[in-house]
Amino acid sequence: SLEAARLEALPGVGELYIRGASTFEGYHGKEHLTAQAYDEGGWLKTGYVCSWAPSGELHILGKRNDFLHPAGGRLVSAQRLEAIYAHRCPLVHQIWVTCEPRGPLVAVAALDAEAVFRWLQAEGLDLRSSDEHAPRITAALLQQLREVAAACRLEPCEEVSDVHVVKSLGQSDDDYRQLATPTFVLRRGHLRRRYDSELRALEIR
């Protein structure tokens, strides 16, 4: 049976920790994994971010790995933000948002080729030289992201502060295939390692 449950992180929302007879004792012969699974008080870290409703019900919001803690003091769902930006920002084909703990929210985005073509046409730019216009395209993308954030009434901590543009995020290019699963689910750990230097450059601007 479950003896107790608590949220570890912020008041009212955080990772669910549980304790009781129904939890496992640890990983056989792998003490380091057991140490990662439990805190010093014997509470099991479930890996799920939850919130308490006023009625006392526990609401499961998602897996901890899908949440970010940007500057602003609360956990935000990366998948939710990615869905909003990807579906509402015309220039975005695919986007991944991330941040250092309590740092600014930044993104890596793959552009929609048709949308870029239409944007170049609207701006009266040479359609054969899109690489030359990369800074202007990036600036237009960032402006669109900010407009989407305003239109969707996202909180300041959910607004992308800067963006790094790439050709694709694991869809066809062999160099990027390891960054997403065959069903296009982003591998966040791989993405973080792949774009570490680019993200650091964004975060210190």
Percent of the chain with pLDDT over 90: 29
pLDDT band at 8 (very low <50, low <70, confident <90, very high): low
User: 200 pLDDT exceeds 60?
Assistant: yes
Residue 86 predicted with pLDDT over 80: yes
Go through 16-35 and write b for each residue having 16 or more CB atoms within 10 A of its CB, e for each that does not. Answer: bbbbeeebeeeeeeeeeeee
pLDDT at 133: 87
Which residues partner with 45 through β-bridges?
A: 17
Q: What is the mean pLDDT of residues 176-194?
A: 74
pLDDT value for 1? 40
Amino acid at 94: Q
**b/e string for 74-85 if b means 16 or more Cβ within 10 A?**
bbbbbebbbebb
Q: Are strands 162-166 and 58-63 parallel, antiparallel or unpaired?
A: unpaired
Q: Is 66 exposed, middle or buried (0-12, 13-18, 19+ CB in 10 A)?
A: middle
Contact between 2 and 22 under an 8 Å Cβ cutoff? The reply is yes
Of the two residues 95 and 181, the one the predictor is more confident about is 95
